[in-house]
Amino acid sequence: MENRIICNCKKVSLSDIENALHSANTMGDVEAAFDDVQKLTHCSTGCGKCHDKIFDIISQFMAGNPVA
């Protein structure tokens, strides 16, 4: 599986985000999960351009459609 970098500033990949989501305890709330993922990976703490992409990934993951 391709493991692309989602956040270039912090070099956070798709699987980093998915792994962080597995340990996030706030499933069902995209914003809370985003905070958890951000704490764990530091994604979206640089330029912020990846914010929407990460939000999207988390929403899809929660909807049961992980962006593989």
Shortest Cβ 21–ligand FES spacing (Å):
17
User: In angstroms, what CA-CA distances link 3 with 6, 11, 25, 31, 68?
Assistant: 9, 11, 24, 23, 8
Shortest Cβ 16–ligand FES spacing (Å):
12
User: In angstroms, what CA-CA distances link 62 with 5, 28, 46, 49, 55?
Assistant: 20, 7, 25, 22, 11
Q: Between residue 4 and residue 63, which ones bind ligand FES under the rule CB under 6 A?
A: 7-10, 43-44, 46-50
Shortest Cβ 47–ligand FES spacing (Å):
3
- Write out the residues near ligand FES by the rule CB under 6 A: 7-10, 43-44, 46-50
